[in-house]
Structures are given as C-alpha cells and as structure tokens.
Amino acid sequence: MKIKNINQRSIWQKFFDDNNSPSFLQSWEWGEFQKKLHYDIIRLGVYDGNKLAAIALVIRIDSRRGKFLFVPHGPIGKITKPLITQLLKYLIALSKNENYSFIRISPLLEDNDSHRQLFRKIKFKIAPIYMNAEDSWILPLDKSEDELLVDMRKTTRYLIRKAARDRVVVTRSDDEKDIAGFLKVYKETVEREDFVAFSDQYIRDEFKTFNDVGNVSIFTARYNNEILASAIILFSDSTAFYHQGASIHSKIPAPYLLQWEAIREAKKRGCRFYNFWGIKIPGRTPKNWNGLTLFKTGFGGSEARYIPTQDYILSPKYYLTYCYEKYLAWRRGV
C-alpha cells in the first residue's frame, strides 16, 4: 500500500460517493471549510497497487486542547488492520516532523469487540472525549411517505399533523441572508440549554462552503410569522444530515413538522438516509441529551453506534490534553 496526496476534487468525490458518502466530515467541502477556520488539512489517498482503497481527510489542529492530527469520521473505504497500520505509519512520520503529541481517529466502524481490538492491537487508546457524533440515529428513506409516517412513534406522528393543523409554515431556503433567522433562534436555544455555541461566523462559513456546491438548505418553521424552529441540513450523495438545529419552547410543535419537511426534501433529492446526528451515549455525551434523543428517535429508524474516538500517543504532552478534556467532559455534564 502507498499513500499519496489527493488534490483533485473529482477523484475524491467519486470515491466518496462510491463508498456511500457516509459522513460530511470526510467530504471535500468539509476540508474547504476547515481552511476557512484557519486549519491546515491534508487529503490522503491509500492505494493498494494502482487502486484507491481509502481516503482520509486529516486536519492539523493546534489549539488549547493540544497539538494533534485528526481524522474525523474516517478513513472512508474498507477499513482493515493493514490499511490503518499503513495510514498510522504515514501520520507518525508526519507528526514527528511537525511536533504533534498524538493522532486522533474517529472511524465509522460499528462498535464491537472486533473493531475495538483492531485499534487496541495497534496501540490506540480510547479518547477521553468525543469530538464528533459517535452514535447517530439514522432513518432509511426507502419507503413511501405514508409508510414513514406509520413507522414513527405515535406521538411524533400526531405532533407533525398538529403542527400542520395549527398552520405552522415550513420553508426551505438556499439564501445566505436567511441564516440571520436561524442565528436568532440559535442564540435563544444556547441560553436555554447552556451549551457552548458555534460562532456566527462559523455557521455562516459552514453554510457558504456547502452552498457553493448546492449541498445545504435552511429549514425554517414559522407560526404567525414568528420563527419557532430552524435547522441547517447538509447533503451528500446518499444522506441528509441534521447538523445544526434551534428552536423556541412553545406549545406549537413546530420542530416536528420542520423535521418532516426536511425528510421529505431528502427523499426528493434521492437521498437514501436521513441522519439525525448525535444521540445520547451514557458516559460519553451530556446527561441532558435525553429529551433530544427522545425527539430524534420518534421519527423511526435505528441507532448506528461507532467505536469510540481513538488516540495514538506520540508524546507525554498528550496527558495534558487528556486532563484538559476530562475537565471539558465534566463541564459538559458527561
């Protein structure tokens, strides 16, 4: 196996789509977005002979939590021990030249003993904190709208219909100016739920990067012209991702109708899955995620739990990161 840089979007995109485009965190656009956040990135291709076997977006991170290389939801491809070993060797060499203290990988591999053992044998250890969803709720879209409604929790189905009866209006927009409405509700959500928010610029840059290729929409639910809920949905060839969401507490169940309209749009686009993103994992996510998890799971679908984020230690400095992230986990209520 050989590892080469991939600098052509067409090569990356074809492999990404051919391998089910399972996470926007390994999309070409996510790499471009990281550049806007002033992170350096590397797009690597792992070749078996002349055949591309895997791709890995690697982000160089130098932050308060530490200096490390990060592969979010990757690599993408058929993940084997030889492939991970080869990628690790490459990243170790890179790390030593650039003084990184560890390598972090969060692969989309089912959480089972076999996959955990694969990483243990290569001397990875479980990271003290997650950085991206390690447990997602995924709804297959291979059924009719009527069948999807039937498969939902009875309460969820009722609240979708109630919101429609209450004359909640859900609109979809690809216009950057409509981010302002999302941000207004988002700030109210942050204050109510007391979590660390993304900055306005972060959300604007994320939207613009994916909007440049037509892979994002803002959904807004209004009641009497007041915004009660809003969401930013990202798209890949296979999947719609509910990545950013916000709502105002109200007796009007606007978020339910908003999600239903986003699901319907995903079907129209030909997506095979609707990914609600993270749900609660005891000991890994905040304890107050119960309500969020109940909301997401009511739409039908099933859990996709991935192995915990994995760290490969290169320097004793790693333990400063470990302690800091343990503190962060405590602050988040994990």
Mean pLDDT by 10 residues, the chain (334 residues): 96 98 98 97 96 98 93 96 96 91 97 97 96 95 98 98 98 96 94 84 97 98 97 98 94 98 98 96 86 96 97 96 92 82
Is residue 66 within 8 A of residue 317, CB to CB? The reply is: yes
Residue 195: partners with Cβ closer than 8 Å, 6 or more residues away: 286, 332
Distance CA 159, CA 313 (A): 48
Q: Which CATH superfamily is domain 136-305 in?
A: Gcn5-related N-acetyltransferase (GNAT) (3.40.630.30)
SS3 content of the chain, % helix, strand, coil (to 5): 40, 30, 30
Helix (H, G, I), strand (E, B) or coil at 160: helix
CATH of domain 2-132+307-331: 3.40.630.30
Residue 283: predicted pLDDT: 86
DSSP character at residue 310: E
Question: Residue 181 in contact with residue 228, Cβ under 8 Å?
Answer: no
- Alpha carbon distance 261, 177 (integer Å): 21
> Given this model, what pLDDT does residue 227 score?
97
For residue 282, say if its preceding peptide bond is cis, omega within 30 degrees of 0. Answer: no
Residues of the chain with CATH 3.40.630.30: 2-132+307-331, 136-305
